[in-house]
Structure 1
Amino acid sequence: MNESELATRVRALVETMYGGYIGGDRDAIDALLDPDLTMFDSASPALISGMDELNAVRAARGNPSDDAPAAHTETGLTAGLFTARRIGDVISATWWLRIDAVDAAGAPVIPEVVRNSAVLVDTDGPLRIVQLHEGVVQHFGGPEVAGLPTV
């Protein structure tokens, strides 16, 4: 399988994962993650090791302070610029993610832009993510970062 075909497989996995996120379907996401996943999540400065730690980060993300209204509501995720290559039994992949959102009044805000890298295992079943690194390059509301790719 060439790099273009691998990138197509990774794109399908990522689009399923982000579709689950926007749709609130945690099971759809978790089916794509290795139970021993390691992850640098944009919502947590610490390395996440395994599903219990990921679920703790998710729980904290879902419970903003009662005193602080949500600054924005995510309305769409667009992934693009995929790369993938096989290294032995794993696939190394990268992609960019644009997260569109609106503020509390419903007005669009400058999107968040995140670069991602992942290691996936390719077994007889579907691809699974064993390591994921999210790096926010542009935060919601700006300032806008010059020179980012269009996603």
Structure 2
Amino acid sequence: MNEPELAARVRTLVETMYGGYIGGDRDAIDALLDPELTMFDSASAPVILGMDALNEVRAGRGKAPADGDPTPPRETSLTPDLFTARRVEGVITATWWLRIDGVHENGDVAVPELVRNSAVLVDSDGPLRIVQIHEDVVQPMGGPVTAGLPEVAGPTA
């Protein structure tokens, strides 16, 4: 059963996290993550265990493509949508979809990436904190378009 007030709190946390990502503010992101975080990230096949492992994955992002590989589209906005959240045995489980918009080198708008996410959060002394997150890219940036996905809102500004 979805709890709308809890989903709104999760939305606030997730919007802060993605705002930190698009703005290059790791401290804003890290304040929302448990130091012993477990994560399946789209940029890493192995599970990420803790902040040191996350920082290793981060260090590999943004590198130039190998000779002959196309330059990937540049991310321009991240928009989370379609939130669910509920309490289960003292923890919070949450899901949302993420739309990542971008542009190709020539300025053409890319087909947006669509990512479904699930997370486990704790609600202890202080703000919500993510202890486990799983990303699943179901439509890569630039396409092809995947049929049957939910309508995920794009940027509002």
Question: TM-score normalized by structure 1?
Answer: 0.95
The correspondence of residues 84-123 of structure 1 with structure 2, limited to 5 A, is: 84-123=85-124
The correspondence of residues 23-42 of structure 1 with structure 2, limited to 5 A, is: 23-42=23-42
Letter in 1 for 2:114: V
Q: In structure 1, what is the equivalent of residue 49 of structure 2?
A: 49
SS of the residue corresponding to residue 124 of structure 1 reads coil
Q: CA deviation at 1:65?
A: 3.9
Letter in 1 for 2:89: G
5+ residue gaps, structure 1: none
Q: Percent identity?
A: 71
How many Å separate the matches in 2 of 1:40 and 1:64?
A: 23
SS of the residue corresponding to residue 130 of structure 1 reads strand
SS of the residue corresponding to residue 146 of structure 2 reads coil
Q: In structure 1, what is the equivalent of residue 150 of structure 2?
A: 149
Q: In structure 2, what is the equivalent of residue 16 of structure 1?
A: 16
Structure 1 runs of 4+ off > 4 angstroms? none
**How many pairs are equivalent?**
150
How many Å separate the matches in 2 of 1:118 and 1:71?
A: 27
How many Å separate the matches in 2 of 1:51 and 1:73?
A: 25
CA contact (8 A) 2:102 2:109 kept: yes
SS of the residue corresponding to residue 6 of structure 1 reads helix
Q: CA deviation at 1:63?
A: 2.2
How many Å separate the matches in 2 of 1:85 and 1:149?
A: 21
How many Å separate the matches in 1 of 2:20 and 2:71?
A: 21
5+ residue gaps, structure 2: 153-157
Q: In structure 1, what is the equivalent of residue 77 of structure 2?
A: 76
Question: TM-score normalized by structure 2?
Answer: 0.92
How many Å separate the matches in 2 of 1:71 and 1:49?
A: 27
How many Å separate the matches in 1 of 2:116 and 2:79?
A: 12
SS of the residue corresponding to residue 87 of structure 2 reads strand
